Amino acid sequence: MGFRIERKPFKIGQSYAVTLPLGWIDYYGKRVTKVTIIGNTLLIIAPEGLEEQAAKLVEGMEQGTYPAKD
C-alpha cells in the first residue's frame, strides 16, 4: 500500500494538524485507536503496534542505511 499525497497543515490552538488519507484509514480501519509520531529530520506517523518499525526506519534513513544497499 504505497502512495504519495500532499497535505496542507492547518492551525488548531497552539499546534498544527494534517488530515490522514482516507485510503490509509480504510486500510487500518478500526484498528487505529491512536498513532505515534516519530521523527527528527523525517516525520513518520505510525499506527499502534508499528512504533518500533517506524523508529528503525527513521534511524536508518538518518544514518543513510535505509533503504538497504545491495
Which domain does 25 fall in, by range? 10-63
Q: What is the pLDDT of residues 6-55, one digit of tens each?
A: 899 999 999 999 998 888 888 887 778 888 988 777 788 888 888 898 88
What is the pLDDT at residue 56? 87
Instruction: Quote the number of domains for the chain.
Output: 1
- Indicate whether 5 pLDDT > 60: yes
What is the per-residue burial (b if ≥16 Cβ within 10 Å, else e) of 13-40?
Answer: eeeeeeeeeeeeeeebeeeeeebeebee
Residue 42 in domain: yes
* Contacts for 53 with CB less than 8 Å, ≥ 6 apart: 46
Instruction: Give the CA count within 13 Å in the CB-facing half-sphere of 12.
Output: 7
Residue 1 in domain: no
Residue 5 in domain: no
Residue 55 in domain: yes
Residue 69 in domain: no
The pLDDT confidence band at residue 67, using thresholds 50, 70 and 90, is low
Residue 19 in domain: yes
